[in-house]
Amino acid sequence: MIPPAGFAIAPLFVLACVAALACARAQDGAKDAARPKHAAAEHVCLDQKERRAASESGTLIRLAAAMHAAKGRMPGTVVQARLCHGAGGLVYVLTVLARDGRVARLTVDATSGTVVGGR
């Protein structure tokens, strides 16, 4: 016996819905992975809108000043910089590649410019 046309299309519809849902979840996961929420376990980093609002407030030091402070602690090249919420307010989390090949993560207070931590 041949099933009616509606019953033949139903499994295809279910399969298409499952595929679309899986694709949507994968895109959501990719968006979450693209945004660096954690520079370290205790830091939640800001997105572009939040960074812009924070810099327009006028209370932050420039990134160049934070990089200069980090280079005073560990000479090398800053390969990544993020603005994050730290325990005492906003901090720059800088990843520094030292001249000898070591990689360190230094935390600079975004309002005072002092190095407050590093690993």
Is the domain of 26 the same as that of 59?
no
Please count the structural domains in the chain: 2
Here the CATH number for the domain that contains residue 84 is 3.10.450
Q: What is the pLDDT of residues 53-93, one digit of tens each?
A: 998 988 999 999 999 999 988 899 999 999 999 888 999 99
Is the domain of 21 the same as that of 47?
no
Mean pLDDT calculated for residue range 85-109: 92
CA contacts within 13 A on the Cβ side of 37: 5
Q: What is the pLDDT of residues 25-52, one digit of tens each?
A: 555 554 445 545 444 456 799 999 999 9
Is the domain of 18 the same as that of 50?
no
Task: Give residues with Cβ within 8 angstroms of 100, minimum separation 6.
Answer: none
pLDDT at 115 over 50: yes
pLDDT value, residue 119: 72
Confidence grade of residue 102 (pLDDT, cut at 50, 70, 90): very high
Strand (E) or helix (H) holding 76: strand 76-86
pLDDT value, residue 39: 47
Q: Nearest 10 degrees: CA dihedral of 22, 24, 30, 33?
A: -90
Task: State if pTM tops 0.85.
Answer: no
Nearest CA to 71 among 43, 97, 39?
A: 97
Instruction: Tell me how far apart the alpha carbons of residues 79 and 39 are, in angstroms, rounded to a whole number.
Output: 13
Is the domain of 46 the same as that of 96?
yes
- Higher-confidence position of 30 and 117: 117
Query: Range of 25's domain?
Result: 1-34
